[in-house]
Amino acid sequence: MARTKIFALKRPYPRQSWNKQAVYNLFRYRQPTTNRRTFYQQKFRAKQETRRFHGEYLTERKWNSMFRHTLRGVVRMNPKEMAMGDGSAVVAGRGTGMDLLPTRFMGKEGYEESVFTHVRNAAIPFSQMTFAPLERRLDTAVYRALFASSVRQARMMCLHGKVLVNGVKMPHAGYMLNPGDMFSIDPLLVMRAIGDPQRATFKQLSTQAKSDLQKAIEEAQSKTKSSTFLKSSNKKVIAANADAEVDTETFTAAGVKSTSAEGETEGEPAKAEEEESTGGKKKFHLPSDWRSYLPKHPRWKIYDQWQPKRFMNLFAFVPRYLEVNHNICHAVYLRHPVARSGGAEVPNPFNDEMMQLAYTWYLRRR
């Protein structure tokens, strides 16, 4: 069974989460030394450490079946260079290519146009791609697209059927995304997942909100079955409030931000009936149980006053293999992650040596 206590403070492990304790653990995490260890011990330790970060809720057998020893990489090609030569210069001379331009000639006059002025690129960190197959998983992709604050939360969203892939409900967290797949979540869910927990309760109603609410309640009561329907869902109140839905300014006006002069306090809901607005001289006839008609969470408020979750800025990056639109909470998995000279695309707190050891561990008997 997957471990439930994952942010233990006594033995810190890095985890894929924005939890404050996870941040603390990541902050003080030091990679294990390889001194006085056999190669086997080094590999085993590296495998332990990396697996605690990458898909710790997956069994080893599951991960083993996903592991691939082939690692994806790309090389950046220069079209100008390719237009100038047919590539035979690389194997010219004794077969290892012409000498690179000696350092003393670099940047000198007359050598700028040379094909060979480019310096050697940094090595491609292939070992960082060891856990790249996990990035294809739907739950990991949801976390990487900044739609959830931890992989486990993303997994929960999937299992609860909140995540759509190409518009179809996909309740499997282990679905392997194909290049070009689009996944999406309800924006409200995303805003709650990666937003600051909103503890402020719904206390006061502005004049605008009151009139909207009255309209909505009247409409609800005029229909036969919609009264209970209104209570059960937030949508109806908003639907009556369609004008406010578009215009953000009206939103705030209709929201909780009301002046103290108008609106009633929480303790006296019955007063709402006698309440008279100061400006419009309009009388509101709200039923005594008006509170039950309100949405539990004021929907419109979160759209305007969204605050990020604590420590979100430390994890605010989107890998290159995803294209994310937070306006609509949709994202596209462009291609599989690749390694390129100077950097790999798999987010990972472990250095190349450690990942090399872990990769070697999984290479056994393959």
Partner 1 sequence: MPPRLRPSNLPSASNVIPQSFSSPLLPFLLPSYHIYTQTPSSSSRNFSTSKPSYRRARFEKTPGTRNGFIDWMKKYGPKLNVPSPLNNVPVYLTRDPPKLPTDKQALKPKQRKNGISRKQAQRDAVDWEAAAKRSTISPFPTNPSFKAHPVISTEFREQIYLRMKADRSVRRISAELNCELERVAAVIRLKEIENRWIAENRPLCTEMQKRVHAMMRVTQYTPFPQHESITDLRIHSATNNQLFLAVPESMPFNRKDAADALGILPADVRMPHSELIEVERMKEAGVEVQEMIKVETEREQREAEEAKAKRERREKRLGAGKVVETERFRFRLKPANAAAVGHRYGVPAEDRKRGINKIPTRVV
Indicate the residue among 76 and 104 with the shorter CB distance to partner 1. Answer: 76
Q: How far is CA 296 from CA 206, 231, 247, 249, 279, in A?
A: 17, 10, 22, 22, 28
Smallest gap from Cβ 269 to partner 1, in A, equals: 28
What whole-number distance in Å separates Cα of residue 163 and Cα of residue 142? 9
What whole-number distance in Å separates Cα of residue 7 and Cα of residue 15? 8
Indicate the residue among 72 and 273 with the shorter CB distance to partner 1. Answer: 72
Smallest gap from Cβ 88 to partner 1, in A, equals: 4
What whole-number distance in Å separates Cα of residue 266 and Cα of residue 255? 15
| Amino acid (1-letter code) at residue 220 | A
Smallest gap from Cβ 146 to partner 1, in A, equals: 6
Indicate the residue among 163 and 272 with the shorter CB distance to partner 1. Answer: 163
User: What stretch of H or E contains 41?
Assistant: helix 39-53
Smallest gap from Cβ 264 to partner 1, in A, equals: 27
Smallest gap from Cβ 144 to partner 1, in A, equals: 12
Q: Are 52 and 14 in contact (CB under 8 A)?
A: yes
Tell me how crowded residue 35 is: count the other CB atoms within 10 A of its CB.
6
CA angle (109, 115, 121) in 5-degree steps: 105
Indicate the residue among 208 and 263 with the shorter CB distance to partner 1. Answer: 208
Smallest gap from Cβ 147 to partner 1, in A, equals: 10
Indicate the residue among 194 and 205 with the shorter CB distance to partner 1. Answer: 194
Smallest gap from Cβ 342 to partner 1, in A, equals: 8
Q: Residue 60 burial by CB count (10 A; 0-12/13-18/19+): exposed, middle or buried?
A: exposed
Q: Residue 237 burial by CB count (10 A; 0-12/13-18/19+): exposed, middle or buried?
A: buried
Indicate the residue among 164 and 227 with the shorter CB distance to partner 1. Answer: 164
Indicate the residue among 227 and 238 with the shorter CB distance to partner 1. Answer: 238
Smallest gap from Cβ 124 to partner 1, in A, equals: 8
Eight-class DSSP state of 27: H
| Tokens 């001289």, residue located | 281
Indicate the residue among 284 and 306 with the shorter CB distance to partner 1. Answer: 306
Q: Are 119 and 58 in contact (CB under 8 A)?
A: no
